[in-house]
Chain A
Amino acid sequence: MTALSLYDKLWNSHVVHTQDDGTSLIYIDRHLVHEVTSPQAFEGLRLAGRVPWRKASILAVPDHNVPTTDRDKEIADPVSRKQLQALDQNCDFFALQKFEMNDPRQGIVHVIGPEQGASLPGMTIVCGDSHTSTHGALAALSFGIGTSEVEHVLATQCLLLRKTKSMRVNVSGALPKGVYSKDIVLALIAKIGTAGGNGHTIEFCGETIEKLSIEARMTICNMSIEAGARAGVIGVDDKTIEYIAGRPFAPKDAMWDAAVKSWRQLVSDEGANFDSTVDLDASQLSPQVSWGTSPEMVVPVDGVVPDPDQEPNATKAEGMRNALTYMGLTPGQAVNQINIDKIFIGSCTNSRIEDLRVAAQVVKGKTLASNIKLAIIVPGSGLVKRQAEQEGLDQIFKAAGFEWRDPGCSMCLGMNADQLESGERCASTSNRNFEGRQGQGGRTHLVSPAMAAAAGIAGHFDDARKYFN
């Protein structure tokens, strides 16, 4: 029998039909919907007189636009308000399941899917959001789609796709204290580039990945898209099964036993073929900091801002010069001397309970440096927020000077009021440092929650490892 990769298995089990040219009709098990990329799809559906193919496959939640303060009042921005109303109206019109803004289960779509057990191993999962790759940590084939494809899935429960190439990323070595899965994925992107995974599904494997928690694995799969890969996957193990057990949408009783038996097959066979393999040694990693305007522009915290004159590729060097100008940095500058204005701990990359615990560990008993203008903690969901409060983490953050907010995408992309002013520099646990992403002229540095918390205390980047001795 041919040895199959996890991706092969996920793909093969969802093929409805394959055309002569190799394009396949792939069945979609779970469709997550949010307010930004769905209105035009619902409109298209209505105009064509169509209805959603399988309503129970859909779970909708507002996350991109929602305010993170004053939830009891009407949303101040009329345009955001209108988009949230459109989601409500569309879900009501088609009788779809949704968590409204003030539902305690509301949160970032990629946090609540796994949290609710709505994202399960073996599923195909799509959402009109590129970070849908997150759910691959549960051995699901999960990827972001455009609005036309959202409409296509609503109407047909399927997508017309071609199989991607496959890449295996093998991570070995013990992760040093104070270094996290965020650092692994940033180091990987620095190594293979933001286009390194284009046209691929990445499978993450190796002893380091096996030792990571499911939440830490989600951080890695989440940023597969920043390496250009449409999807990232990790095979099922005991941790996967334990994570899912008892969640609201997870199967129960006899159905649970049957599901677990089936999920256990969701690993790559010995000798499975990959188009390429990348090896990474985690034991040698320092905490990582992005210095530029692309997630591949990353250096260790004990490093310096790189010099474009040393870059042999002319186009790349020009890109580096643009980034340095935008970021207001000079080559050779020590990373741990870069001063910070704002701290953002949140986003679908790093807003889960383990992320908040690590950040709280760093800030406990300390206070924000005087140059920090604003530091916000935005939990990934209402349930993460509640859990953190039960553990007293909110008190630790507030005592240190952080603001404790309501869940949503928030300053990751600044569609709501949480934005950087022009020229402000932010240590951010989010996933993209593109120009203007967090606010026009804003300067984003991507880091782990521990590094963001440490930057808040020090007022500049500071080696998170120091806080764990």
Chain B
Amino acid sequence: MEAFTKLTSSLLPLDRPNVDTDAIIPKQYLKSVKKSGFGINLFDDWRYLDPGEPDQDNSQRRLDKDFILNNDQYKNAQILLARDNYGCGSSREHAVWAMLDYGFRAVISTSFADIFFSNCFKNGMLPIVLKKSEVDKLFEASLNDPDYSISIDLEKQQVVADGIGSCQFDIDEFLKHCMLNGLDEIGITLQYEDKIHAYEERLKQSSPWLFAHD
């Protein structure tokens, strides 16, 4: 996993609440057995006017010019700005893979759905929760000026934005540590290998039926 420390970038404001993972990456693309290549189909149903299929030549499809992802002025944004409950619905990690593949490294909202939030941290995508008043101001600023840029500093847990000032955000200490260092959680867990074995031995004593088919 790539470490996340600091990021300065413009924002792509996606001004609707409850954006679900079906919208982020529609189901037909979930048939892939890889983690890459999903970016071209990020927000597929909103981005293109005609239906899409895996392995299709997307350059031939008609774009919905009114959808903000198709506005060239926002094409360099590495931060997605979202509304309440972003990433709700399906557990598909493909949603995060698609955002990463497209070029996003962080997503800011007032709230996130739990599984999406967790999936972000496994892939070096930083989800930041800010206050509604702060998110509202970021929407206003980025909708008015596509080049409006902000800076994220994970170590300081800070978003610095012109005209808004510095916004602090909360983050779980352990998740922060893993993000800052790009740590693989499996490696961390396997440090406790002995404890897992010991737990299993206790479980075999207390709940032997759980091991009846081992």
Which residues of A approach B to under 8 Å, CB–CB? 16-17, 19, 21, 23, 25, 27, 29, 36-37, 39-40, 43, 48, 50, 53-56, 64-65, 77, 79-80, 82-83, 86, 120, 122-123, 128-130, 144-149, 151-152, 155-158, 160, 162, 164, 194-195, 198-199, 225, 228, 230, 249, 251-252, 255-256, 258-259, 262, 294, 315-316, 318-319, 322, 413-415, 422, 432, 434-437, 440
Min C-beta distance of A54 to chain B, whole Å: 7
Q: Which residues of B contact A194 (CB under 8 A)?
A: 18, 85, 88
- If A228-B113, A436-B45 touch, whether A17 touches B195 (CB-CB below 8 Å) is yes
A228 in contact with B85 (CB, 8 Å): yes
- If A25-B195, A440-B45 touch, whether A146 touches B122 (CB-CB below 8 Å) is yes
Chain B's closest residue to A29 (CB) is B210
B113 in contact with A198 (CB, 8 Å): yes
Q: Which residues of A contact B27 (CB under 8 A)?
A: 413-415, 437
CA distance in complex: A56, B185 (Å): 23
CA distance in complex: A224, B213 (Å): 30
* Candidates A144, A149, A198, A414; contact of B111 at CB < 8 Å: A198
Decide if B72 is an interface residue (CB 8 Å cutoff). Answer: no
- If A27-B196, A145-B115 touch, whether A79 touches B54 (CB-CB below 8 Å) is yes
Interface centre among B84, B89, B173 (most CB of A within 10 A): B89
- If A148-B93, A316-B17 touch, whether A82 touches B31 (CB-CB below 8 Å) is yes
Decide if B142 is an interface residue (CB 8 Å cutoff). Answer: no
B83 in contact with A16 (CB, 8 Å): no
Min C-beta distance of A199 to chain B, whole Å: 6
CA distance in complex: A162, B111 (Å): 17
A-B contact pairs, 21 of them (CB 8 A): A25-B195, A27-B199, A27-B200, A79-B55, A82-B33, A130-B91, A146-B91, A147-B94, A148-B185, A149-B122, A155-B186, A158-B196, A160-B188, A160-B189, A194-B88, A199-B114, A251-B212, A255-B208, A262-B207, A434-B22, A440-B26
A152 in contact with B115 (CB, 8 Å): no
CA distance in complex: A35, B173 (Å): 34
Decide if B34 is an interface residue (CB 8 Å cutoff). Answer: yes
CB 8 Å contact bits of B85-103 with A (1 = contact, 0 = none) = 1001111111010000000
A56 in contact with B211 (CB, 8 Å): yes
Q: Which residues of A contact B89 (CB under 8 A)?
A: 130, 225, 432, 434
CA distance in complex: A242, B27 (Å): 37
Chain A's closest residue to B186 (CB) is A155
CA distance in complex: A67, B83 (Å): 36
A37 in contact with B207 (CB, 8 Å): no
Decide if B40 is an interface residue (CB 8 Å cutoff). Answer: no
Q: Which residues of A contact B188 (CB under 8 A)?
A: 160
CA distance in complex: A53, B34 (Å): 23
Interface centre among B17, B96, B112 (most CB of A within 10 A): B17
CB 8 Å contact bits of B202-214 with A (1 = contact, 0 = none) = 0100111111111
B119 in contact with A146 (CB, 8 Å): yes
Decide if B7 is an interface residue (CB 8 Å cutoff). Answer: no
Decide if B41 is an interface residue (CB 8 Å cutoff). Answer: no
A195 in contact with B84 (CB, 8 Å): yes
* Candidates A129, A130, A435; contact of B45 at CB < 8 Å: A435
A230 in contact with B31 (CB, 8 Å): no
Decide if B172 is an interface residue (CB 8 Å cutoff). Answer: yes
CA distance in complex: A129, B85 (Å): 18
Decide if B30 is an interface residue (CB 8 Å cutoff). Answer: yes
Q: Which residues of A contact B111 (CB under 8 A)?
A: 195, 198
Chain B's closest residue to A249 (CB) is B213
Q: Which residues of A contact B123 (CB under 8 A)?
A: 148
Min C-beta distance of A89 to chain B, whole Å: 10
B85 in contact with A195 (CB, 8 Å): yes
Min C-beta distance of A238 to chain B, whole Å: 19
Min C-beta distance of A21 to chain B, whole Å: 5
* Candidates B22, B84, B85; contact of A432 at CB < 8 Å: B22
Q: Which 4 A-B pairs have the closest CB atoms?
A: A148-B122, A251-B209, A39-B33, A146-B93
Q: Which residues of A contact B209 (CB under 8 A)?
A: 120, 251, 255-256, 258-259
CB 8 Å contact bits of B175-199 with A (1 = contact, 0 = none) = 0000000000110111010011001
- If A149-B118, A435-B22 touch, whether A128 touches B85 (CB-CB below 8 Å) is no
B196 in contact with A16 (CB, 8 Å): yes
Decide if B64 is an interface residue (CB 8 Å cutoff). Answer: no
Q: Which residues of A contact B33 (CB under 8 A)?
A: 39-40, 43, 82-83, 86
Decide if B51 is an interface residue (CB 8 Å cutoff). Answer: yes
Interface centre among B23, B83, B114, B208 (most CB of A within 10 A): B114
A440 in contact with B214 (CB, 8 Å): no
Chain A's closest residue to B209 (CB) is A251
Q: Which residues of B contact A130 (CB under 8 A)?
A: 89-91, 115
CA distance in complex: A199, B91 (Å): 15
Decide if B137 is an interface residue (CB 8 Å cutoff). Answer: no
CA distance in complex: A434, B196 (Å): 40
- If A43-B33, A259-B207, A415-B31 touch, whether A230 touches B114 (CB-CB below 8 Å) is yes
Q: Which residues of B contact A53 (CB under 8 A)?
A: 196
* Candidates B118, B192, B208; contact of A25 at CB < 8 Å: B192
* Candidates B26, B54, B118; contact of A436 at CB < 8 Å: B26
B212 in contact with A255 (CB, 8 Å): yes
B17 in contact with A437 (CB, 8 Å): no
Min C-beta distance of A184 to chain B, whole Å: 21
* Candidates A152, A255, A258; contact of B186 at CB < 8 Å: A152
Chain B's closest residue to A40 (CB) is B35
Chain B's closest residue to A260 (CB) is B209
Interface centre among B51, B115, B186 (most CB of A within 10 A): B186
Q: Which residues of A contact B112 (CB under 8 A)?
A: 198
B189 in contact with A123 (CB, 8 Å): no
A16-B192, A129-B90, A158-B189 known; 4 new pairs, CB 8 Å cut-off, are A21-B173, A25-B192, A37-B92, A54-B200
